């Protein structure tokens, strides 16, 4: 595909894109960059030198830091790498610097294009407190809450007045860090102190707010796209209610909870919020939903981990649209031109132990088996055989995404695909995800954010018989070279006899 063919404006304002991320999202962005006829540059810490994204990039530039994560958070070093490589744009992926307004400004000040919203939009919508105030002031639905910034001295009293149970959140938070459910007044002050400490540690910002916690809520979000010409569309909704520690594990599109009228209502509100903010590029409006009512939760000013399910049901490559919008092009479609086709489910494959409270696991990948990428099955991964899985990064290894004509067809395909996916060398959550997929309540779509707490046996490993355990131990032992050599060795007494027959 030529550059002129890939870009309706007759040529891109940049010839190469630097991908300021790692793992599966770096490789996923890289593939679209290449498909559009552009050059892909990847930055990487030495810990990622052997990853697939680094191996297939047109150019890979090593970055350094006190820790691997520190390297990917060093905006000045990344901008310098982009300028040295000749890249004209920087795509931040998700996480790391993707929602950092200061980084977006660094990119712009260097004369480069940031593939995302403006720094002002990130500051407005990326800050949970400012975003809530903005949304509420324009008449969109928000849950009852108390904001520390309004009057820090009375924050605890105002939080009590909201009523219990409460959910405490850091103003600058994300990924569930610092969030705490408080069910009684006696522990509120202590939980505020803990949440403030976690907010400061993870985000450098200890400001808090609280909102009324909705019991058994569903977490529903809407994908939006806006351009620099004032056009905004939504690409329908996603259900993200299967979570552990406030972090998503399984996402699907569309949500099985919504009928067509509810879907139109929540999606129209999301597009209205984006339009009111003058939003540009890809973003997500998140809601808490229950009993037919929904409330604004937060706005993510970036590409989401779960974006593939939206791509599967709409046929839209969201990364390609991000790049086109960043290049100044208007959206290529209107709202009336978008349709939902079937159902998609995404499973996050984590290096973790569900039976031990979902704690991360580590090890070196000695073997991998991925499902066949037949129609309706997609695997996004950034790992390869021989790679070390360490505690330096988030434990997500890959994403398995399946599509079917309806939810049941997608669920059945997901169950089969999970059965043919294996990563050896560190424990993963694959078997747990398969048990979850087979659960009758999951199959019925009866989801909520406390689903795993209500089904604790899903995380537990099934019992293993003594006979099977003995066979597994023997197989594991024989996979070790010293044991195998000992088993194959011929005793000296017999080897001295030489060849003979009875």
Mean pLDDT, consecutive 10-residue segments, the chain of 502 residues? 44 97 98 98 96 97 96 97 98 96 97 97 86 93 87 93 91 78 94 90 85 89 98 98 94 98 98 97 96 90 97 98 98 97 98 96 95 91 94 95 98 97 96 98 97 96 84 78 75 69 59
- pLDDT at position 69: 94
Eight-state DSSP code of residue 461: P
- pLDDT at position 9: 46
The correct CATH number of 3-115 out of 3.40.50.20, 3.30.1490.20, 3.30.43.10, 3.30.1160.10 is 3.40.50.20
- pLDDT at position 12: 97
From residue 419, alpha-carbon distances to 348, 422, 431, 432, 437 in Å are 14, 8, 8, 11, 11
414 backbone dihedrals φ, ψ, rounded to 5°? -65, -40
- Cβ contacts of residue 62 below 8 Å, gap of 6+? 43, 44, 45, 46, 49
Distance (Å, whole) CA 251 – CA 488: 49
CB of 318 closer than 8 Å to CB of 307: yes
Class of domain 218-458: alpha beta
- pLDDT at position 486: 75
- pLDDT at position 7: 56
Distance (Å, whole) CA 144 – CA 153: 19
- pLDDT at position 1: 38
Distance (Å, whole) CA 278 – CA 275: 5
- pLDDT at position 114: 98
Eight-state DSSP code of residue 416: H
Residue intervals of the chain classified under CATH 3.30.1490.20 are 144-212
CATH number for the region 144-212 comes to 3.30.1490.20
Residue intervals of the chain classified under CATH 3.30.470.20 are 218-458
- pLDDT at position 83: 98
Q: What is the pTM of this model?
A: 0.86
Residue intervals of the chain classified under CATH 3.40.50.20 are 3-115
State how beta strands 293-300 and 281-290 pair. Answer: antiparallel
């Amino acid at each position: 595909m030529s550059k002129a063919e890939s870009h309706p404006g007759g040529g891109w304002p940049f010839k190469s894109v630097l991908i300021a991320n790692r793992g599966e999202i770096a490789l996923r962005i890289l593939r679209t960059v290449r498909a559009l006829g552009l050059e892909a540059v990847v930055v990487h810490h030495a810990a990622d030198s052997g990853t697939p994204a680094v191996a297939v990039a047109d150019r890979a530039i090593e970055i350094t830091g006190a820790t691997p994560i520190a390297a990917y958070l060093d905006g000045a070093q990344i901008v310098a790498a982009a300028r040295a490589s000749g890249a004209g744009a920087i795509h931040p992926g998700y996480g790391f610097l993707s929602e950092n307004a200061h980084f977006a400004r660094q990119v712009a000040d260097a004369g480069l294009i940031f593939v995302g919203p403006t720094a002002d939009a990130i500051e407005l919508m990326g800050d949970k407190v400012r975003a809530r105030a903005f949304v509420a002031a324009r008449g969109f639905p928000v849950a009852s809450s108390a904001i520390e910034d309004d009057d820090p001295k009375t924050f605890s009293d105002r939080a009590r007045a909201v009523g219990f149970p409460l959910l405490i959140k850091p103003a600058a938070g994300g990924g569930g860090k610092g969030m705490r459910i408080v069910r009684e007044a006696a522990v509120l002050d202590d939980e505020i102190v803990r949440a403030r400490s976690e907010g400061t540690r993870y985000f450098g910002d200890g400001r808090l707010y609280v909102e009324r916690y909705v019991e058994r809520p569903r977490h529903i979000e809407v994908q939006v796209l806006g351009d620099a010409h004032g056009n905004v569309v939504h690409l329908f909704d996603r259900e993200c209610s299967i979570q552990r520690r406030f972090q998503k594990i399984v996402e699907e599109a569309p949500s099985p909870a919504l009928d067509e009228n509810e879907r139109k209502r929540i999606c129209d509100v999301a597009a209205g919020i984006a339009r009111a903010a003058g939003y540009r590029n890809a973003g997500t409006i998140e809601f808490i939903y229950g009993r037919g009512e929904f409330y604004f939760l937060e706005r993510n000013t970036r590409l989401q981990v779960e974006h593939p399910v939206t791509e599967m049901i709409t046929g839209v490559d969201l990364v390609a649209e991000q790049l086109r919008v960043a290049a100044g092009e208007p959206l290529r479609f209107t709202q009336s031109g978008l349709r939902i086709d079937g159902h998609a489910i995404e499973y996050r494959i984590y290096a973790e132990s569900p039976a031990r409270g979902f704690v991360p696991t580590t090890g070196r990948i000695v073997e991998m088996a991925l499902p066949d990428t037949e129609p309706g099955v997609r695997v996004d991964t950034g790992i390869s055989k021989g790679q070390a899985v360490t505690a330096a990064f988030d434990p997500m290894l890959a994403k398995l995404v399946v599509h079917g004509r309806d939810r049941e067809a997608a669920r059945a395909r997901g169950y089969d695909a999970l059965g043919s996916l294996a990563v050896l060398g560190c424990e993963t959550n694959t078997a747990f995800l398969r048990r979850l997929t087979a659960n009758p309540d999951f199959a019925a779509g009866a989801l909520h954010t406390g689903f795993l707490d209500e089904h604790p046996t899903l995380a537990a490993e099934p019992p293993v018989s003594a006979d099977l355990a003995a066979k597994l131990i023997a197989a594991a032992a024989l996979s070790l070279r010293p044991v195998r050599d000992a088993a194959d060795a011929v005793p000296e007494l017999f080897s001295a006899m030489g060849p003979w027959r009875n």
